[in-house]
Structure 1
Amino acid sequence: MAKSVFLNLFLPMLLLRAGVRSEVIFHFENLCSETLYRASKPSIGDLEPDLPRYAYEIFNMDDHYSGSIWVRTGCSTNASNYFSCETGDCGNGIMECADLNPSLPVTLLNFIVSAPIVSYEVSLVHGQNIMVRIQPNGGTLMDGSGPCPMVECNKELSSVCPLKCLALNKAGIYVGCYSPCDAFKEPKYCCNGQGCQQDEYSLKYKGLCPSAHTYAGDPQPPTYHCKGADSYDITFCPAID
C-alpha cells in the first residue's frame, strides 16, 4: 500500500511507497520537467510505475534481483485508453511494464542485488532517453579499493549524436539518441560482448558520460560491486555539473 506525503510548492513532493521487505533501499527522484514512468526487466516488485515531476520516493528493493530498470518519457493515454510513450515504450498499452523489450533508445540502469551486495551501472548500450545518476550512500567496494562511487550520465547526447542516431517524436522534436549498433545495425558497431571495440560514436558518448558504459563489453568503468551502503539514490535529470 502506498503512502504519500506532499510538501509545499517550494519543496519536492515526497512519496513513500512500501515494497518488499529488504535490506536494500532505493531512493527515486525525478528532477525532470515531466512525469516519468518506470519499467523493469524482470519486475522489481510492488512499485507504482509513475514518478511525477519533482517527486521523491523511497522503495524497499527486493534483496535478490538481477535485471534492468528504465524510465519511459513522453507518455500519454489516447481516446481508446491506450497508454504509450515516445521512448522506452513496452507496447502493451498499459502503464505497468515488466519483462518486455522497450522501444529504443533507452538509458538502462543495470543492477544485481544480493543483499548486502549491490552491483550497479549506467548503460548507454541502447542509447539514451534520459539523464540519470546512481549514488550509493555509504558502503565500500568489494575489492577493498575504497568507497562505492557515483555513476551517471548527466549530459544530453544530442550535441554528439549522429544524424542517423537521432530519435525524434511525431512533432520532429529530439527525444533521445540511438546507439550506433541499434541505428546502423552493422557488425563493426555491434558485438556479443567479447572482443568488442570502441567506435568513433561510442567514444564521443564516453566523452560526455565517462562513468557510463557506452558499448557492449565496455570495460571502463568496471561494474561496481558495493557492500553495506545504507541506500542508493537514483536521480533522473540530475543537475548538470
Structure 2
Amino acid sequence: MASVHLLPLVVLLLAAAADAATFTVTNNCPYTVWAAAVPGGGQQLDNGATWSIDVPAGTTGGRVWARTGCSFDGSGNGRCQTGDCGGVLRCTQYGQPPNTLAEFGLNQFQGLDFIDISLVDGFNVPMDFLPAGGGSGCPAALQAPGGCDNPCTVFKTDEYCCTGPAANSCGPTDYSRFFKGLCPDAYSYPKDDDTSTYTCPGGTNYNVVFCP
C-alpha cells in the first residue's frame, strides 16, 4: 500500500525535474566579471569562461547579473564595485545597483517561463538573455563608478521610483526613454511590461551572455 501512496509524489518529482532549466552564463567581456545568480550563488568568470546553473522548476524572482571590481579572500568574503550581494562570492541575496539584470520566473501562468532584461536598477555590463539554441552611454547625472545608476536611486522622487501618488500612473521619463533607445528589449522603468517581457515553454534552457 505504501507504494501506491508514494506514486503521485514520484510523478510530481519527475515532472518538476523535467521542467527545470539550465542557465549557461558566458563572459565575453575583455575583463573578468564575477557572475551572480539567485538562486545559484556566484562564480568568477575570466574572459571566455562559462558557468552552468540548474534552476528548479517553479522558481520566481530569479536573477542573473554580473559584478565588477570584486576582491574576495579564500573564504569567499569581500566586496564588489557594482552588483555586490552582501560581500560574499556566492550570492544568496540580490545585488546592489547599478547592475544589469536578467530576470525570470519559471513554470508560471499556463506553464510558461517569463524572462526579461531589466535596466530599472541601472546597468553595468551589456547583456543578452536568450533561450538556448557593445558599448552603452550614460546620462551625466546617472554616472556611477563602474556603471550607470538608475534615476530612482539618484533622485529619490515618486516620479522616478513609481511610488506615492505616481504609483498608479507611472510612465516613461526622459531617462527611461534614453535607456529604451539603447536597449529596446530591456525594462526601462517599473511599469515597462508590454515591450519587455517574453515567454518560453516551461523546461526551456537559457543563455546569459555578458558583453555579447
Assess same fold via TM > 0.5: yes
Cα separation, 1, equivalents of 2:36 and 2:76: 19
More helix by share: 2
Aligned to 1:36: 33
Q: Counterpart of 1:89 in structure 2: which amino acid?
A: D
Aligned to 1:146: none
Q: Deviations over 1:81-106 (max 9, x none)?
A: 851111011233x3111125x32211
Change (3 A) 1:83 1:155: same
Identity of aligned residues (%): 34
Q: Deviations over 1:56-102 (max 9, x none)?
A: 2333322221122222111113799851111011233x3111125x3
Aligned to 1:103: 96
CA RMSD of aligned residues (A): 2.7
Q: Which moved more, 1:209-218 or 1:190-199?
A: 190-199
TM-score (normalised: structure 1):
0.69
Greater C-alpha Rg: 2
Change (3 A) 1:206 1:81: closer
Aligned to 2:159: 188
SS in 2 for 1:104: coil
Unaligned runs of 5+ in 2: 1-15
Higher relative contact order (Cα pairs below 8 Å, separated by 6+ residues): 2
Residues 1-241 of structure 1: matches in 2 within 5 Å? Answer: 23-40=20-37, 43-45=38-40, 48-67=42-61, 68-77=63-72, 82-92=77-87, 94-100=88-94, 102-114=95-107, 117-137=112-132, 155-156=135-136, 158=137, 161-168=138-145, 175-192=146-163, 194-227=168-201, 230-238=204-212
Q: Counterpart of 1:37 in structure 2: which amino acid?
A: W
Paired residues of 1:37 and 1:50 also in contact (CA < 8 A): yes
Cα separation, 2, equivalents of 1:225 and 1:35: 31
More strand by share: 1
